[in-house]
Structure 1
Amino acid sequence: MTEVIKVLLVEDDEDDYFLTSDYLEQCESPSFELTWVTNSLDAVEALKADSFDLCLLDYLLGAENAIDVLGVLKSNQFSLPVVILTGQSDATVDEMVMRAGAADYLQKSEIESPRFMRTIRYAMVRRDIENERLERNKVEQKNKAKDKFLAHLGHELRTPLTSILGYTELLIDDARNSPFQQELSIIHSNGKHLLSLLNDLLDMSRIMAEKLELNIQDVNLSAFLTDIHSLMRLNAKEKGLSLNVVSTTKIPEFIKTDPTRLRQVLLNLISNAVKFTDKGSITLTISLEVSSSEPADEPRLCFSVEDTGIGMPPDKLENIFQPFEQIEDVMRANHGGAGLGLAICKELVTKLGGDISVTSRHGEGSIFTFNIDPGNISSQPLVDLQLEQIQPVESSSINLCVTGRVLIVDDLREIRRLTGHLVSQSQADISYAENGVKALEAVLEADEHNQPFDLVLMDIHMPVMNGIEALHAIRRHGKKIPVIAVTAASRKGLKESLIREGFNDVIGKPIDRFALATLLSQYLPPGNHVTFTNVEAQVADMPLDKPFAPEKHLPYSAEDENKQDVTSFSPEKTDIDEKSSEKGVNNKRILVIEDDEDAAELLQLFLTHLGHTVTTTYSGADALNTAQEQRFDHILMDLTLPDYNGYDLAAELKKALPDTSLTIVSGHEADTESMKSIGIDSALLKPVSKDDLESVVG
């Protein structure tokens, strides 16, 4: 089909109009549709009545000239390209019209020459480029508006979720509410579900805006897979399912990837498999694929998650990895979700250098398969995948009568918590650290306060500083504290090797509760009689962020990333107020700046329970006045305040109180560069728990 270009000719000379019209009519491709007017007013009316691709404008129009007409067109916001027609070339005039916004200029004598058509084509190309730029700007503005909306939505949802989860945790912690533990746990669990949906939305937003970044590091594959198995087998066991992790080939000992994102993909796929499987099993299979036909091809690490669940019909598979797509049968089964999990998996797998696919038969089960780039593994030994034998859940219990202080060190938060579940059944006080550096700091600080740890459970494979390095550092400081190595590896001679490094003992992952009870009895001082129960079966019902104390319903402060203070599990201490008085020795003066009264009250309650003195303000101006009058050890502030930009306020507070620690507590993710330039110490994303606060305040 021939292209039709609609041209508006603004020309007061009839002979020049006929000359231009005759030439344009002779053109076959493209063809032209010409409209003729003689002045700027008629040109404006024509442009209002119809759309044009191009304007040919005579330089002299009686009392007007082309520069005047260009100004009129611009003031009326017409953006079509304009080519000026002049009687004779004048460099000064040519420069003036180009500066006024013309796309090009031509002498009228050139209308029948090839240059005339080239000029028109170049003007049309520039018009297309400009239109694309404008459309791109519109899309960018829409995306920015969407990002701002999602950021605002995240903040607005996180603020009430802070109150819902926070007050529920306080109620759960209070032993007087033991008759309502089941109801409170349901509220807490559903609050966490809402938070996970919100996180999915924000994750997808970051992915679509290409703002999601990877943190590539060395990952011990066997240890990583053991942790996955340990976390998810409880969920499977809850439904009477078995979870198997197998390898069909040897696998590299270490790979280079983002463990957090790979773990997110695997947990999502396994969780879905458990959700949609009522009987049978789920199998996670790992293999290393190397192309035999193309030796230069890089090896791929492949994963598949196979279940014996409800499966999916073929017509439902096409859009399964698209955002916001939900299978109707799943929706009718009321399995819930935002329809984003698989879409997020696809995007994360792509970022990890691979792709994902699914095969399924309705009523027979599904197989999700994906691969990733394992990095340069040419120097890595290939080993058999060896997971510690998973012990069946037994109905017996162990009498464990120990006390003391235990430090649990592991880079995976859920593994720290699961270990905490087990140790919490004794009377031991528990602290946590996320890597070797934090562990060393915790050990040294505990000694400075004359509250040394009695035992350290130390994971071997961790970022920043691994377990062996941390042990050597602890020993260099002259600390003789017993340290037990926790490892998923099981190669021959490993235990002897670790003991030669200086560890007192070794326990495998997943941690066997009976073996752990034996070690606790061996290294911790004796206490009152406590029954070490079959916690694994009970933990399966509970949210991962709060250990379950069977029958006792004792107050429990779960770990956080940098926690070094100790939470007591003594049966005599069953009231939160007693715990807060116990922590009074570390009393700090804290300023809370939060415009939401419910959120401010909750922060005050948490901090008071931790033994601190709290002053609350609801605006930036009040906060600055208070900071001038009083000294504070720590400031907690929201970024969204009615009278101040959060970062501007933070900068002024830092000037007023340069030695005071400052933490952002907000529904918005804090900007790292702004924090660094101002000197903000840390940031917490709402909803925050008491443990989150303890991690930054102490």
Structure 2
Amino acid sequence: MTNEPVKILMIDDDEDDFFLVNTYLDDVAGQNFEVEWVPNATKGKESIQKKMHDLYLVDYRLGAFTGLDILNFFKELDYKAPVIMLTGKGDYNIDKAAMAAGAADFLVKGEFSAPMLERAIRYALDEFNHLQVIEENRRKYFGIFEKSHDIIILADCDKNIIDVNPSACKKLKATKEQLLNKSLKALFYNPREGQEFIDSICNDTNISQSPYSFVTIEQQKIEVLLNANMLDESKQIFLCVAEDITDKIKKEQVQRQLEKFAISGRIARLVAHEVRNPLTNILLAVSQFRQDPLPEQEEAVEYLDIMERNCSRINELISELLNTTRLQELEMQKHDINKLVEQSIAFVEDRLRLNQVNLRLQLVPEPIYIEADEEKVLVAFTNLLVNAIEAMQPEQGELFVWVNPGQEKVQVIFTDNGQGIEPDVLARLFEPFYTSKANGTGLGLASTQNIILSHKGTISVESEPGNGSTFKISFNRL
């Protein structure tokens, strides 16, 4: 027990019993008791109404009243406190009635000692405090249960729904009675998924943030994120909490459609911009053949050359567009990653020299092999090198290219000290047809990502405006 005094009210018409109890409690070491005495039920009720005591000792015989009347008075006040009933002689029926009415314990006068009284008080207080904690948790649980916006369902492993919260009724468009008469599996849009869910949770597998489809009483489909935990293993009762994400998914679908429209718009603008000029040249050449008289042979050949060149430009553009939007067909062979890096650097050697970029190259001493399409990987590396060179100021560029070996994967890292990338641009960097360059097509990095993904690799970028950029490419090692 604590050092705080335990305040006790004793309701007893015999003052000698009060002195005896007080003497017993004075002998208890390590605990301070403050015992107040009232001689009858009327004064006892007046004191109880003040709710100032931690525990009550109540005599069973109180003139015209009994201790059961006092216990009933607690109920009338809706006041909960530990009560120990005292009586002059042992009586099983009185004991049973007192305990049924809410008494914490029952002691027979003359038969209990100081240790027995102290233990009865200590147990009564501990039990009361324990019940209070349980009651507080119960109130919190039911507060959450009743007020939660999520669907909350209690069920058992026999597929029975035991209880549901108001939100479940609202979202599933059913009354509580209708849901309690349904099996849990019937709430799933796909019955097979419902059975698999029940089997998983009943095999002691907690389910966290798993997407499922529920169906309302009106057979409308709703999408949920479901969490489930076993509450009582002995009774096989588990709790399901389902967040309705139907509206969220619809908004995401709308957003994806808008993004598709935006990409389509960029494609249209790109095609219009890139194709219009060669088409204009072709139309001008054709118009020359419609003139009267027809052009001379030498002049006609020149017009045909113009038409052929511009048709080739259009064909190349369409091919590049197609290559960035479909996975590459690869001719896979065993290649040393060091050699691939060196070859790609050789392709941009003139650019490095022209812009006076200081290149630092760090390879690994031993060969590291990957399975790759040499031509396409060189295109990807070259794209990254060209972008890095263009991002740096002439004569101030520092480009660091290094191979980072791992046990299962190998990384090739390209780091420059260029202007960096703005956050809004970074978020859309690999998106086809998106570019921040005045004359760019937005296809270089999209094509690079496509090549890396075709090799079952990964590509990532880290960048801050003014602090350069780092591209990391990862491949599986052979």
- Whether TM exceeds 0.5 here: the answer is no
Report the structure, 1 or 2, having the larger strand content. Answer: 2
Q: Which has the larger radius of gyration?
A: 2
Higher relative contact order (CA 8 A, sep 6+): 1
